[in-house]
Amino acid sequence: MAELNTTLFPPISPLRHGMLAVDDLHTIYWEEVGNPNGIPVLFLHGGPGAGLSPAHRRFFDPLHYRVILFDQRGAGKSMPLGECRNNTTPLLIEDIERLRTMFGIEQWLVFGGSWGSTLALAYGQAHPERCLGFVLRGIFLCTRREIDFFLNGSEWFHPDVYDEFVAGIPVDERGDLLAAYHQRIMSHDPEVYWPAVRAWSRFEGRRVFLLPQPEEPPSDSLDLGVGRLESHYMANLGFFTDNQLLDNVSRIAHLPAVIVQGRYDVICPPVSAWRLHQAWKGSVMKMIPDAGHGAMETGITRALVTATEQFRKQRRFD
């Protein structure tokens, strides 16, 4: 933690924060951090459903960046928590544009990790004229193969974690873990959905870092947001056609991008980052040799901060 504190910028409070009603059901939480006259940057959190952390503000020099962060629909402080109705990728993209207009921003750097990288790519491909460039971590293209690996590939690397995850599912349903969990997670009965969302969240959380970490205290809000929204988006293939984000890279290929990827990421395996880099000829790939999936692993954190510093100085990545 001491090393992270010297890599990240110091803790900072928002200049402004508030709630924005985006439809009759959803109200999203937003923050503005840093220099109001600085380079605009949009921060997109992971999950979906994981929400913001104060640490997310610290990847950017507050003297030079104007950082806009928000909890996506159903996540964090946004309301209603864990709500999957009116919650699709196109609607999240509409929310981003609504925020951009509200803040009077013409163009911004787009920064996202894990599901945040998915949403960053989708937003950029929908609105390339609004993007200055991209800082992406732990690439997830939301393909069927990646979703299958997320649920079943862990058996090869974390058999203990996998066995715990499937223990609550009858043997005859284990051939489709996504369907089995999604059915339980979307139940209206708390005695059914709470064990399911907690198991789902724990299954992911125990595989994030390369090296074992002290387990965080249980968080009902995190478990509900992550369990419900991840299973919802995976069950709907992210509201994409399979391989859509890779097929449409040409829409943003003229923009600068850095891809930061942990070599031993077992949540979002490096092959997706590599394929994105190969398709995006101008992108810069930073493969971190001693990291998994976590943004707060030392090598990944350092690479992300280096990227934001390079962009503010040169408007490109090396």
133 and 168 belong to one structural domain: no
Residue 289 has pLDDT above 80, yes or no: yes
Q: How many domains does the chain have?
A: 2
| pLDDT band at residue 125 under the 50/70/90 scheme | very high
Written in H, E and C, the secondary structure of the chain is CHHHHHHCCCCCCCCEEEEEECCCCCEEEEEEEECCCCEEEEEECCCCCCCCCHHHHHHCCCCCEEEEEECCCCCCCCECCCCCCCCCHHHHHHHHHHHHHHHCCCCEEEEEECHHHHHHHHHHHHCHHHEEEEEEECCCCCCHHHHHHHHHHHHHHCHHHHHHHHCCCCHHHHHHHHHHHHHHHCCCCHHHHHHHHHHHHHHHHCCCCCCCCCCCCCCHHHHHHHHHHHHHHHHCHHHCCCCHHHHCHHHCCCCCEEEEEECCCCCCCHHHHHHHHHHCCCCEEEEECCCCCCCCCHHHHHHHHHHHHHHHHHCCCC
* Catalytic residue (one of 114, 201, 231, 272): 114
Tell which of 238, 270, 301 closes a domain: 238
Distances (CA, A) of 12 to 8, 55, 93, 95: 11, 9, 27, 25
pLDDT of 235-269, one tens digit each?
Answer: 999 999 999 999 999 999 999 999 999 999 999 99
201 and 217 belong to one structural domain: yes
Q: Does residue 265 have an active-site annotation?
A: yes
Q: Does residue 293 have an active-site annotation?
A: yes
| pLDDT band at residue 103 under the 50/70/90 scheme | very high
pLDDT for the residue 254:
97
Distances (CA, A) of 288 to 28, 199, 264, 268, 298: 33, 29, 9, 14, 10
* Catalytic residue (one of 56, 182, 232, 293): 293
Residue 2 has pLDDT above 70, yes or no: no
Give the end-to-end CA distance of the chain in Å, rounded to a whole number. 27
The mean pLDDT value for 97-121 works out to: 98
92 and 157 belong to one structural domain: no
127 and 210 belong to one structural domain: no
Residue 1 has pLDDT above 60, yes or no: no
26 and 91 belong to one structural domain: yes
Percent of the chain with pLDDT over 90: 94
Q: What is the domain range of residue 9? A: 2-142+241-314
pLDDT of 166-193, one tens digit each?
Answer: 999 999 999 999 999 999 999 999 999 9
Residue 318 has pLDDT above 90, yes or no: no
Residue 78 has pLDDT above 90, yes or no: yes
Q: Does residue 172 have an active-site annotation?
A: no
Tell which of 202, 222, 238 closes a domain: 238
64 and 150 belong to one structural domain: no
For the chain, give the mean pLDDT.
96
149 and 280 belong to one structural domain: no
41 and 190 belong to one structural domain: no
Residue 86 has pLDDT above 60, yes or no: yes
114 and 149 belong to one structural domain: no
Here the CATH number for the domain that contains residue 250 is 3.40.50.1820
The mean pLDDT value for 126-144 works out to: 98
Tell which of 238, 265, 294 closes a domain: 238
172 and 227 belong to one structural domain: yes
115 and 171 belong to one structural domain: no
* Catalytic residue (one of 26, 265, 277, 283): 265
247 and 231 belong to one structural domain: no
pLDDT of 208-224, one tens digit each?
Answer: 999 988 877 889 999 99
